[in-house]
Amino acid sequence: MTGIYIHIPFCEARCNYCNFVSQVGGDKKAYIDALVKEIDAMDAFHNGEADSVFFGGGTPSVIKPFYIAMVLDALKASMTILPNAEITLEANPGTVSLESLKEYRRLGINRLSFGLQSADDAELAVLGRIHTYEEFLSSYHLAREAGFDNINIDLIFGLPNQTPEGFKKTVETVVSLESAHMSVYALKLEEGTPMYGTYHGSAEMPAEDAEREMYHSAIAYLKEKGYAHYETSNFAKPGFECRHNLKYWTGETYIGYGAAAHGYSLTESGAVRTENTSDIDAYIRDMADGIHDAQTQTPLDFSDMRDEYIMLRLRLAEGIRFADFQARFGTDFETTYAEAIEKTTKAGLIEKNGLGITPTVKGFDLQNTLITEFL
């Protein structure tokens, strides 16, 4: 079943840590028109079926619901969006109203993802967020009032001058809201961002052991409160795992529309990955001309697919299932990777059972080390 990703690159302000393709201002109508044209042009997927749609960004909630409706109408004209499809919209606190949230519900959006990042206003200021925790609370409760029961909340740990105790307080505060899903990410200082220039190599960044303590305490507390740790950074109440994001980690087909959007589809000889230009103006010009030259297509052979499968599956709590690997690649995983299995088991990075291998908390923690042993 196909997943659909829609990139909306507009923001009210650019956060200090962000290196995503986004911009403040810009011609929103021209961009949405280009999106609709791209969707219309994807003849290969007409009459297909999609069970997930994800509006990401950027901040999709800064554009008018009318534009979201235009995109959804275009999708429905080119393929079948199943009645039970998961349709997610990313939103920033302070950019939604009860009216807009009710309109999203009317349009069929049934999942929201709020970028909170911290419950501490001083930390939010360092990150360059334009909201306070109280403003987040207001937006969250409005979403509940509008009828959303599937809400994700994003948090970031490892912030400058953050302590394990401080992050634990944020987690405990936010978990009390009983959202359906939580995403907990480690801060990564990206070159070219304001935070990289200020904090790269700085003693204000938490030590590695303190950062690990933040991650471990979040895992333990969220599990205690009924959240399953189903992916490295993602936690869900039963039945609320993000269906769309699971497509990325399990190698299912997805189509990406918009500037910088990626897609992945299976072929007879392997798979093809697509990537649209990250130049927003070039994307709009490309679509206005009725062509799609600003897209890169990269073929993947079965060796590429196998390595990617291993890498992504080791992000999941389910890990790698021997039978599934055999069915996909015609190779016995236990035999082919016997040495790596033995080494990573002894190192406490994985556990092996009759069905396959699963990463431990230490394996999640040292994920790059774990994955490297199998590639």
Greatest distance between any 2 Cα atoms in the chain: 58
User: With left for phi above 0 and alpha for psi between -120 and 50, is residue 138 left, alpha or beta?
Assistant: alpha
Q: What is the pLDDT of residue 7?
A: 98
Q: What is the pLDDT of residue 247?
A: 96
Q: What is the pLDDT of residue 41?
A: 84
Q: What is the pLDDT of residue 290?
A: 66
- Residue 371 is encoded by which pair of tokens? 């994955």
| pLDDT means over runs of 10, the chain (375 residues) | 95 92 93 93 72 96 97 94 97 97 98 98 96 98 98 98 98 98 97 95 95 96 98 97 96 94 88 93 85 80 93 96 95 96 97 95 93 95
Q: What is the pLDDT of residue 43?
A: 61
Q: What is the pLDDT of residue 47?
A: 62
Q: What is the pLDDT of residue 42?
A: 77
Q: What is the pLDDT of residue 267?
A: 82
Specify the 3-state DSSP secondary structure of 121: helix
Specify the 3-state DSSP secondary structure of 242: coil
**Pair 18, 195: CB distance under 8 Å:** no
Q: Dihedral of CA 325/327/329/333: which sign? A: positive
- Spatial neighbors of 106 by CB under 8 A, at least 6 apart, are none
Radius of gyration of the chain (CA): 21
Specify the 3-state DSSP secondary structure of 265: strand
Q: Which residues pair with 274 in a beta bridge?
A: 263, 297
CA distance 31 to 356: 45
**Residue 52: φ, ψ to 5°:** -155, 140
Q: What is the pLDDT of residue 188?
A: 95
* pLDDT per residue as tens digits for the range 179-198: 999 999 999 999 999 999 99
* C-alpha torsion 156→28→72→261, nearest 10: -50
Q: Is the pTM of this model over 0.85?
A: yes
Helices (H), 79-157: 98-107, 121-127, 133-145
> What's the DSSP call for residue 27?
-
- CA-CA distances (angstroms) from residue 253 to 60, 231, 250? 23, 19, 9
CA distance 187 to 133: 19
Tell the burial category of 135 from Cβ atoms under 10 Å away from its Cβ (0-12, 13-18, 19+). Answer: middle
Q: Which residues pair with 263 in a beta bridge?
A: 274
